[in-house]
Amino acid sequence: MNHTYDAGDRLEAQIGTSVRQATYITGRDGMAVVKLDNGYNLGIPYDSCRFLERPGQSVARKPIVTQRDELPVLSIVSTGGTIASRIDYRTGAVTSQFDAADILRAIPGLSSIGRFRTKQLYTILSENMTPAIWQELARAVHEEIVSGARGVIVTHGTDTMAYSAAALSFMLDTPVPVIFVGSQRSADRPSSDNAINALCAAKTAVSELGEVAVVMHTTTSDDSCSIHRATRVRKMHTSKRDAFTSIGVPPIGTVKYPTLDVTLAAHARKRRETEPMVLPDLEPGCGLLSFVPGMDPAVLDAFSGYRGLVIAGTGLGHVSTAWIPALRTLAKDGCMLAMTSQCLNGRVCDRVYDTGRDLISAGVIEAENMLPETALVKMMWVLGNEDDPDKAAGMMKEDLKGEIEGRSVHGL
Amino acid sequence: MDYKTVGLKAGIEIHQQLDSRTKLFCRCPTSLREFEEHTDEYFRFLRATESEMGEIDEAAREEMKNERRFCYYTYDTTCLVEDDEEPPQPLNPEALTISLTIAKMLGMSPVGQIHTMRKLVIDGSNTSGFQRTALVALDGAIPVDVLPGGGGIETICLEEEAAQRVDDHTFSLDRLGIPLVEITTSPCMKTPEEVQEVAGYLGMVLRSTGKVKRGLGTIRQDINISISGGARVEIKGVQELDLIAEVVRREVRRQENLLSIRDELIRRGAGVREEPVDVTHVFSATSSGILKKADRILALVLPFFGGLVGREIQPGRRLGSELSDYAKKCGLGGIFHTDELPGYGVTPEEVSELRTATGASDRDCVIIVAGPEKKVHCAVLQVIKRARLAFEGIPEETRRMLEGGSTSYMRPLPGAARMYPETDVEPVYSRGIWGAIQVPELITKRIGRLKDLGLDPGVAEHIGYSEQYPLFEKALNQGVPPALAARTLTSTVKELRREGVAVDHISDDELIGALAAVGDGRAAKEAVPEILRLIAGGTPLADALEQCAGRVSVQDLGDIVRAVVRERQQFVIERGMASLGPLMGVVMAEVRGSVDGKVVSDCLKDEIRRILQET
């Protein structure tokens, strides 16, 4: 009878000298996990279980949701993430619940902001994202924009959300808000930030914004969300609600909670400033390498054949002088090299010290104050769309989507 | 009252904080703080989530009626885990061992693979919106000498403590996450006194581990009560053991009265008119402050309820209080009803106008719900819900104890729908811990043993229950006389502390060393306070013993006594042997307690006698 139970089967469970009726949930580390009638799960050896019966499937009653015709259409494109997920009773895994009705049931407040349509592109963990998926995502979002969505919300795992959001910034010209949102604390907990983030994202999606942005908690409190420019945002904490931070620029707006009042900053791009367009080509042969003291220049051999390499250097943008010959070789072989800083804050300047000047002469581009990850996806996009190396290098140093700030503003 | 006839069945849940070094799912200390010490505060909302079965727990749904913004205090002794900003760390093995020890003491069967669950609690007391809890053992016994016929312990769970409430919406995070055990008995108690007796017994078992926290609020009892024809009611948070029996008595009375109200309602053919009437205009010129302030006033007619809503069901509580409790869930302060009107600023004219406006007769009761538009409608539905339940008798509820032992409604009884697996915590195993657990001696048994050692029963009880007991036993093992050890630990140390002596600076070994010196005659027992004073002030034990013990020899004592008596010769002649008492004080002060009182007394007596003979 071992291991042949189905989730939901009624069993008699022997625990020491005690016998209880229970429901089979799953197997775990060779033991049967059963749920007692008081709701507690516990694991017991399979030979302590005795089958009683297999009840008929009971379907949970779901309340019906209605959408209001007079509200603007918002499109939700899902890549995974946990905006509305719960544990699967059968498998014990967290599953994503995803159709408009599921989301509106999970976050009822959304139904007073917009009329929702949904597109489930992927159900993956964000660490499994690839440039190919970014491209598909860009096309899907573009389709939603041209088919009349007043705004697009992309639900996304938070780990690589900033990469995807930055990638879409370069691939898309958008006249409407394209809002990336996720949750730092899982949606299956009453304290999850998913609902407030989603409500603030939806409200931003109907606002006057006209660019790609990330909307997440401003602080640990459920008081407001910040609207971050996709090319300037970075996940700066592993677990906190306010992990997402705009680096080197103020956020482009805020949404107060629970009033959901949206305030956009002067430097935010506004709705209808541009026509919708998608240029989804990317050059996937690009890398990002963080230099550490003593790192063997032979590491660079791994990037031979790459079309581009972003280096996160030390301080103002340095690597060991021992790297100069290897970098020169890479550049000669047609690999675009761009220097960013591990400091994240501040501008790269390779004209202060000798090493820097050597780097420039070896063909390394100073990537200004671009974030290393943004520089990487930008390089992929630039090399995917521009064949001329000089023009491509010029584009790397030019501000295309707010990724480079010309002025380093006091106080940030 | 004959509780057998009413069919009383009661069980208890005991919640006891464990005295582990760190919290259950993080490595913060388990220390409580003063609210003023908080370092920061933040705000959160909670919303009910579905269980793994796709249901929303009834109790959680009720809490959601009034969306509330909770404030939390942080401390330098709390971390991101309490903030629900970081995943929990593995279940604290020290706390697991303590809980399994208790399980073993109660004769329970341990769970092999222990799973941590999330128990949905969205009243704000948990930042996450759930309490982490794990069932660690099942089925133990309450001995027959505690409960006639014996009884059962159903489960023991290891849980995290909730945050402490500062005020209505504000919670302090110092307490959140302290490990606690929840022991649930079967409904095996049949009288109020039995409930109290079993609670006392379980408290004693818990204390016998020496690993539980002590002091106000560290142990709480929930009581489950039902009577024949009634329903299960859970009363939460009874902190005083002495009140338990009274709480049970009052709950039985409440259930009986609600049943008789039910019978009366059915006999009268009473009902609930489900359509509320807007009576805002009736009170446009009222002198009742609450009604004057209200945006909206709705009236609900309860036909043939007249007189029953105001009938007392428990000291200080009426059916009206129950209706009011339900309405409060919508964020209102309460309700008015015609059984208590005119009054509260409402005039007889307004009452009769109210009856006219609603078409209610004198035999009906009219409920008035006043406040902001949204809350009023929510509250009316709640009143209707509770009024309907009056026809069934007693609703299954979780209730809160009020001062004196009556109770008020908190929320519906939660069900299994509130349990959800804690996916962030790996299961743990009892195998490997269980076998190695040494079952501690029960305090009751310990006290018996101390009495056999010749200790006074009061002292035996005192030291037996005392936190100092492990030290006491250590002292005994090193040859310290039991009475001396008991007296020093239960009173001398306390007196010194009261004097302001830094007794915490005295190590266990130093204390035992000092007592052992008395035991083998190297110091007088009167010298103990002085020795301890010196040690607390930084003097090494050996020096302290020397300063106090070696200083006054028998020869010196003779000299001191002679000098004291000669100086007061006139006094001795006048008072005779009665001068002994006053002179004892003088000599003891001179020798600073370094000589046994009996020796001093003998020496003094001789000297006084000599003086008296000489004259």
Residue by residue, what is the 3-state secondary structure of B233-252? EEEEEECCHHHHHHHHHHHH
Going by their DSSP bridges, the two strands B397-401 and B233-238 should be labelled as parallel
User: Do A87 and B84 count as a contact with CB atoms less than 8 A apart?
Assistant: no
Question: For chain A, which residues make up each domain, given as ranges?
Answer: 10-53, 73-278, 286-397
Confidence check: pLDDT of B56 > 90 = no
The rounded distance, in Å, linking the Cα atoms of B317 and B336 is 14
The listed CATH number (2.20.25.90, 1.20.1600.10, 2.30.30.140, 1.10.3720.10) that belongs to domain A10-53 = 2.30.30.140
Q: Does A46 touch chain B (CB under 8 A)?
A: no
Confidence of residue B359 (pLDDT cuts 50, 70, 90): very high
> What number is the ipTM of this complex?
0.92
Total count of domains within chain B: 4
Which CATH number is A286-397 given?
3.40.50.40
Q: Which has the closest alpha carbon to B437: B169, B188, B3, B105? A: B105
* Cβ–Cβ < 8 Å for B401, B236: yes
Pair B281, B232 in one domain = no
Stretch (H or E) spanning A334? none
Residue A36, min C-alpha distance to chain B (Å): 9
Pair B517, B541 in one domain = yes
Q: Which has the closest alpha carbon to A22: B261, B324, A32, A298? A: A32
Nearest to B109 among A17, A28, A40 (CB): A17
Per residue in B148-176, pLDDT (tens digit) is: 999 999 999 999 999 999 998 999 999 99
Per residue in B293-330, pLDDT (tens digit) is: 999 999 999 999 999 999 999 999 999 999 999 999 89
Q: Which chain B residue has its CA at the smallest distance from A86's CA? A: B52
Residue A219 falls in the annotated catalytic set? no
CA angle, residues A139, A140, A144, in degrees to nearest 5: 115
Going by their DSSP bridges, the two strands B419-421 and B40-45 should be labelled as unpaired
Task: Give the sign of the dihedral formed by CA A260, CA A264, CA A268, CA A270.
Answer: positive
Q: What is the dihedral of CA B588, B594, B598, B604, to 10 degrees?
A: -50
- In sequence order, which residues have a C-beta less than 8 Å from that of residue B427 and are 6 or more positions away? A28, A29, A43, B113, B114, B115, B116
Chain A residues whose CB is inside 8 A of the B127 CB are 191
Q: Does A37 touch chain B (CB under 8 A)?
A: yes
Task: Give the active site residue among A26, A155, A158, A174.
Answer: A158
Pair B133, B227 in one domain = yes
Task: Give the sign of the dihedral formed by CA A225, CA A229, CA A231, CA A233.
Answer: negative
- Give the per-residue pLDDT at A366: 96
The radius of gyration computed from the CA coordinates of chain B, to the nearest angstrom, equals 33
- Give the per-residue pLDDT at A271: 96
The rounded distance, in Å, linking the Cα atoms of A226 and A242 is 9
- Give the per-residue pLDDT at A320: 95
Pair B111, B171 in one domain = yes
Angle, in degrees to the nearest 10, between helices B580-591 and B554-567: 130
Pair B148, B194 in one domain = yes
Confidence check: pLDDT of B80 > 70 = yes
Residue B346, min C-alpha distance to chain A (Å): 37
Whole-angstrom CA distances from B187 to B99, B154, B181, B203, B220 are 22, 9, 19, 18, 18
Pair B207, B324 in one domain = no
Chain B residues whose CB is inside 8 A of the A15 CB are 109, 111-112, 138-139
* Cβ–Cβ < 8 Å for B526, B556: no
Mean pLDDT by groups of 10 residues along chain A of 412 residues: 77 91 90 92 94 79 79 91 58 57 81 91 88 97 97 94 98 98 89 94 98 98 98 97 96 97 97 96 97 96 96 96 95 96 95 88 94 98 96 96 91 78
Range of the domain at B453: 443-549
The rounded distance, in Å, linking the Cα atoms of B55 and A115 is 26
- Give the per-residue pLDDT at B550: 57
Residue A270, SS3 per DSSP: strand
Residue A123 falls in the annotated catalytic set? no
* Cβ–Cβ < 8 Å for B70, B165: no
* Cβ–Cβ < 8 Å for B180, B160: yes
Residue A37 falls in the annotated catalytic set? no
Residue A264, SS3 per DSSP: strand
- If one compares B423 and A310, the residue with the highest pLDDT of the two is A310
The verdict on residue B401 lying in a domain is no
The verdict on residue B264 lying in a domain is no
The per-residue pLDDT of chain B, averaged, comes to 91
Per-residue DSSP letter, B490? I
CATH number, position B386? 3.30.1360.30
The verdict on residue B513 lying in a domain is yes
- Give the per-residue pLDDT at A353: 85
Per residue in B186-206, pLDDT (tens digit) is: 999 999 999 999 999 999 999
Structure-token pair, residue A288: 């990002």
- In sequence order, which residues have a C-beta less than 8 Å from that of residue B560 and are 6 or more positions away? B552, B587, B590, B591
The verdict on residue B437 lying in a domain is no
Residue B147, min C-alpha distance to chain A (Å): 21
Residue A66 falls in the annotated catalytic set? no
Stretch B444-461: mean pLDDT: 92
- In sequence order, which residues have a C-beta less than 8 Å from that of residue A217 and are 6 or more positions away? A184, A193, A196, A197, A224, A225, A226, A241, A242, A244
Pair B384, B476 in one domain = no
Task: Give the sign of the dihedral formed by CA B334, CA B339, CA B343, CA B345.
Answer: positive
Judged on CB neighbours under 10 Å (0-12, 13-18, 19+), A53 is exposed
Confidence check: pLDDT of B24 > 80 = yes
Q: Provide the number of CB pairs (under 8 Å) joining chain A to chain B.
A: 142
The verdict on residue B124 lying in a domain is yes
User: Do A220 and B418 count as a contact with CB atoms less than 8 A apart?
Assistant: no
Q: Quick check: do A73-278 and A286-397 share a fold? A: yes
Pair B362, B458 in one domain = no
Q: Dmax over Cα atoms in chain B, in whole Å? A: 108
Per residue in B257-305, pLDDT (tens digit) is: 999 999 999 999 999 998 999 999 999 999 998 899 999 999 999 999 9
CB atoms within 10 A of CB B31: 10
Pair B39, B149 in one domain = yes
DSSP per residue, B327-356:
HHTTT----EEGGG-SBTTB-HHHHHHHHH
* Cβ–Cβ < 8 Å for B359, B301: yes
Judged on CB neighbours under 10 Å (0-12, 13-18, 19+), B463 is buried
Percent of chain B with pLDDT over 90: 66
The rounded distance, in Å, linking the Cα atoms of B84 and A193 is 11
Structure-token pair, residue B197: 């007796």
Pair B28, B140 in one domain = yes
Structure-token pair, residue B521: 């005659």
Which CATH number is A73-278 given?
3.40.50.1170
Confidence check: pLDDT of B179 > 70 = yes
Structure-token pair, residue B383: 């009143």
Pair B15, B150 in one domain = yes
Nearest to A33 among B115, B133, B418 (CB): B115
User: Do B135 and A16 count as a contact with CB atoms less than 8 A apart?
Assistant: no
Stretch B123-127: mean pLDDT: 94
The verdict on residue B530 lying in a domain is yes
Pair B129, B97 in one domain = yes
Q: Which has the closest alpha carbon to B74: B87, B63, B83, B86? A: B83
Stretch B59-77: mean pLDDT: 82
Task: Mark which of B214, B248, B282 sits at the end of a domain.
Answer: B248
For an interface test with A, the pick among B84, B139, B155, B183 (most A C-beta atoms closer than 10 Å) comes out as B84
Structure-token pair, residue B441: 């001696």
The rounded distance, in Å, linking the Cα atoms of B405 and B253 is 12
* Cβ–Cβ < 8 Å for A33, A48: no
- Give the per-residue pLDDT at A1: 45
- If one compares B521 and A121, the residue with the highest pLDDT of the two is A121
The rounded distance, in Å, linking the Cα atoms of A408 and B18 is 54
